[in-house]
Structure 1
Amino acid sequence: MSEAESIRTTTGTPPATAVVFDLGGVFIDWDPRHLYRKIFANERDMERFLEQVCTPTWHAQLDRGVPFSIASQALLTANPGLAGPIRAYHDRFPEMWGPVSRQMVALLHRLNDAGHPTYAATNWPAEYWDGAMATFAFLATFRGILVSGLIGVAKPSRDFFNTLSTTFPITPSQTVFIDDRAENVRAATDAGYRSHRYVGMNALESYLQDNGLEVNGEI
């Protein structure tokens, strides 16, 4: 898939008045493999664990605010021999955080310096959010952050986007929404946002400029 094919946009006028960013996959390289490569001796066993035990579907309930102590009960009962790796999902969650994109943080600072209101909207388990705030200093520079685990609903639910527009002083038709996942971009578009799928810095800068958000200078 080419970069152009990976982008779905809804461009409109007048210029956008706010920007909402996803975090994982845009600013932060979140991936359970960062942790589980330390736990499993080979990639095959690790991938089997992530495909059959601590799966993305299972993780989604954490994003909706279900505590790990509850979400893990069925897994521990069904997989007693994997109790250690399962509990590591909770005990060592910060080890799933990879590097932060310096380019994206620089872009965020330039948007803030130019007076463009910036917000974040993330699928993130509630019980690990305080740790994220303590780890990633750039999070404090957003005017507000909507965290799925704290409100009990996650992207791509329409309720998430409705909550976003009622929690912060933004108008969807005048707000650029940036996410790396196609289903979230489609949902944002359906909710009336000017939506862009993040696939690279050059395309993102162009999209911001097309929407009247100038970020001149080296990013």
Structure 2
Amino acid sequence: MTEIRHIVFDIGKVLIHYDPNLPFSRIIPDAAERKWFFDTICTHDWNIEQDRGREWADAEALLIAQYPDRAEHIRAFRKHWREMVPHAYEGTVALFKGLIDAGHDVTMLTNFAADTFVEAREMYPFLNTTRGITVSGEVGLIKPDVAIYHRHAKDFDLDTAHTIFIDDTMVNVEGAKAAGWQAVQFTSPEMLRDDLTAFGVLK
């Protein structure tokens, strides 16, 4: 079994909850209309470009030019962002803190807009406790592009063969493996504990 010397955490849906429906259930109460809005206007592909580094003002202007009657709803996405990340996952955070306290080398690699990540660090101080973080919006790269894994490994001097990555999205897990890392998909704190035990990180 490969010895694990470096542990890298994703953040959204691994350490903290994320759901745009939380504020938008109030902003657009009709479920069908809300689904149309997310499928057509403030889509995943639109939002991921902020994770890649696009400024929110530019992102909003792009959509408002196409959907001027939806300007208020478009601006609401950034305005009410904090409501989309209402709590941390206590079980995962306990594991995360335990690994750091036990002396393991823990870093984070996340797809996150640069400015909202500043807010996340204010809301969740445990995000400031690792040796370092690669934020996609700050480096202009996003998972699952292997370049962001290579960038993280270089910046934090990781031995990739002895690195394990934890992410909730399988395509990002596969991206890490393509970059030469070990990787597991996060589904629950209990499964993560089992995975880390299987890799010899936990006893």
Is 1:28 paired with 2:47? no
Please state how far the C-alpha of 1:88 moved relative to its aligned partner: 0.9
Match of residue 109, structure 2, among 121, 135, 138: 121
Taking structure 2 as the reference length, what is the TM-score of the superposition? 0.96
Please state how far the C-alpha of 1:203 moved relative to its aligned partner: 2.1
Answer 1 or 2: higher relative contact order, Cα 8 Å, separation at least 6: 1
Give the match for residue 157 of structure 1.
145
Give the match for residue 87 of structure 2.
99
Give the match for residue 37 of structure 2.
49
Unaligned runs of 5+ in 2: none
Normalized per residue, the structure richer in helix is 2
Measure, in 2, the Cα distance between the counterparts of 1:153 and 1:90. 21
Deviates more, 1:174-183 or 1:71-80: 71-80
Question: What one-letter code is carried by the residue in structure 1 that aligns with 2:85?
Answer: W
Is 1:141 paired with 2:129? yes
Measure, in 2, the Cα distance between the counterparts of 1:48 and 1:122. 27
Question: What one-letter code is carried by the residue in structure 2 that aligns with 1:135?
Answer: M
Taking structure 1 as the reference length, what is the TM-score of the superposition? 0.89
Is 1:182 paired with 2:175? no
Q: Secondary structure at the match of 2:103?
A: coil
Measure, in 2, the Cα distance between the counterparts of 1:180 and 1:130. 22
Q: Secondary structure at the match of 2:108?
A: strand
Please state how far the C-alpha of 1:171 moved relative to its aligned partner: 1.1
Question: What one-letter code is carried by the residue in structure 2 that aligns with 1:95?
Answer: E
Query: Kindly, what percent of the aligned residue pairs are identical?
Result: 32
Q: Paired residues, what number? A: 203
CA RMSD, aligned part only? 1.1
Please state how far the C-alpha of 1:201 moved relative to its aligned partner: 2.1
Match of residue 65, structure 2, among 56, 73, 77: 77
Please state how far the C-alpha of 1:212 moved relative to its aligned partner: 1.9
Q: Secondary structure at the match of 2:13?
A: coil
Give the match for residue 180 of structure 2.
192
After the TM superposition, which parts of structure 1 deviate over 3 Å for at least 4 consecutive aligned residues? Answer: none
Unaligned runs of 5+ in 1: 1-11
